[in-house]
Structure 1
Amino acid sequence: MSETVIELRDATIMQEQQAVLQGVSFSLEKSAFVYLVGRTGSGKSSLLKTLYADLPLLVGSGTVAGFSLSKLPTSKVPYLRRRLGIVFQDFQLLSDRTVAENLMFVLNATGWNNKARKQQRISDVLSQVGLSGAANRMPHRLSGGEQQRVVIARAMLNEPALLLADEPTGNLDPDVSDSIMQLFAEINNAGTAILMATHNFQLLEKYPHRVLTCKDGALLDSARYQ
Structure 2
Amino acid sequence: MPTELFSNEPVLSLTNADIYQGTKLVLGDVSFAIHKGEFVYLIGRTGSGKSSLLKTIYADLFLPNGQGHVADFALEKLRPKDVPYLRRKIGIVFQDFQLFFDRTVEENLKFVLKATGWSDKTKMKNRITEVLMQVGLSNSHKKMPHQLSGGEQQRVVIARAMLNEPLLLIADEPTGNLDPAVSDQIMHVFQNINNAGTAILMATHNYDLLRKYPARVLRCEEGKVEEYKQ
Q: 1:171 aligns with which of 165, 177, 181?
A: 177
> Residues 10 and 23 of structure 1 are in contact (CA less than 8 Å); yes or no, is this contact kept in structure 2?
yes
Aligned counterparts of 2:35 and 2:105: Cα–Cα separation in 1:
32
Normalising by the residue count of structure 2, what TM-score does the alignment of the two structures yield?
A: 0.96
Aligned counterparts of 2:24 and 2:144: Cα–Cα separation in 1:
41
Q: Which runs of 5+ in 2 are unaligned?
A: 1-6
**What is aligned with 1:10?**
16
1:60-71 alignment runs, 5 A limit? 60-71=66-77
**What is aligned with 1:34?**
40
**What is aligned with 1:48?**
54
Aligned counterparts of 1:162 and 1:195: Cα–Cα separation in 2:
8
Would you say 1:105 and 2:111 are equivalent positions? yes
Aligned counterparts of 1:29 and 1:2: Cα–Cα separation in 2:
7
Displaced runs of 4+ in structure 1, greater than 2 A? none
Aligned counterparts of 2:137 and 2:50: Cα–Cα separation in 1:
30
Aligned counterparts of 1:2 and 1:184: Cα–Cα separation in 2:
23
> Residues 8 and 63 of structure 1 are in contact (CA less than 8 Å); yes or no, is this contact kept in structure 2?
yes
Residue type of the partner of 2:209?
A: L
Q: Which runs of 5+ in 1 are unaligned?
A: none
**What is aligned with 2:3?**
none
Aligned counterparts of 2:98 and 2:74: Cα–Cα separation in 1:
27
Identity fraction in percent: 65
The total of aligned residue pairs comes to 224
1:183-194 alignment runs, 5 A limit? 183-194=189-200
> Residues 2 and 31 of structure 1 are in contact (CA less than 8 Å); yes or no, is this contact kept in structure 2?
no
Secondary structure at the aligned position of 1:70 is classed as helix
Aligned counterparts of 1:195 and 1:2: Cα–Cα separation in 2:
18
What's the RMSD between the two structures over aligned residues? 1.0
Aligned counterparts of 1:6 and 1:149: Cα–Cα separation in 2:
24
Normalising by the residue count of structure 1, what TM-score does the alignment of the two structures yield?
A: 0.98
1:108-187 alignment runs, 5 A limit? 108-187=114-193
**What is aligned with 2:29?**
23
